[in-house]
Amino acid sequence: MGAVYCALVHYPVLDRGGDEVTTSVTNLDVHDIARSARTYGLRGYFVVIPIEAEHPVVQKILDHWTTGAGTKRLPERTEALALVRVARSIDDAIAEIRTLEGEPPRLVATSAKSGADRRSYAEEAARLESESGPTLLLFGTGHGLSPTVLDRCSAILAPIEGPTDYNHLSVRAAAAITLDRLLGAKDAAKHTI
């Protein structure tokens, strides 16, 4: 298996009307996705935000947990937040992964929308297991990743569906479910309560 990274994309994403926008960073998204990334062995988690004024906000969160008072209070949080990097664009995240891994990552998008081109989690999990190159999983904020992002991806995962027609998970929950489906224990015996 190659290195797996994820990115929470704040631009370009869609708003409710389908227009391309930039969304704001939230503290919970930084924390919770970092904890999921650490749990499932990701090499890094990129917060993609082009607005320079947002970068110090993310850095303040990271500093508190990686070098500040948070290191003594919850050392396991320090370990998770050490995975977080801020990137101005998806291309910047790709460039950093290329530097770290020696080749660019394969882009895999998540989406809450159905489509004929969607890949099952089982198919993508098998591909991750069998290939050695890096992968960057893209999670969108707002109302999902822009078509300009989706068009660049090698795969778009099928939507996460429950037993109802309600489909509005938080990105934190969707990221955790996605990572578990792709990288979680495959042995059913490990899932006992």
Tens of pLDDT along 132-151? 999 999 999 999 999 999 99
Among candidate residues 72, 71, 91, 73, the one with its CA nearest the CA of residue 82 = 71
Residue 190 is predicted with a pLDDT of 56
Residue 78 is predicted with a pLDDT of 87
Query: Left if phi > 0, otherwise alpha if psi is -120 to 50, otherwise beta: which for 102?
Result: left
Q: Calculate mean pLDDT across residues 5-33.
A: 96
Q: Calculate mean pLDDT across residues 165-189.
A: 89
For residues 175 and 42, what is the distance between their CA atoms, to the nearest angstrom? 12
For residues 6 and 65, what is the distance between their CA atoms, to the nearest angstrom? 20
Supply the pTM of this predicted model.
Answer: 0.93
pLDDT over 50 (residue 193): no
Is residue 128 within 8 A of residue 36, CB to CB? The reply is: no
Q: What is the residue whose two structure tokens read 């993508």?
A: 124
User: Domain spanning 4-185 has what CATH number?
Assistant: 3.40.1280.10
Query: 125-155: b or e for each residue (b if 16 or more CB lie within 10 Å)?
Result: bebbeeeeebbbbbbbbbbbbbeebbeebeb
- Residues 44, 140, 160, 120: is their CA dihedral positive or negative? negative
Q: Give the CA count within 13 Å in the CB-facing half-sphere of 117.
A: 10
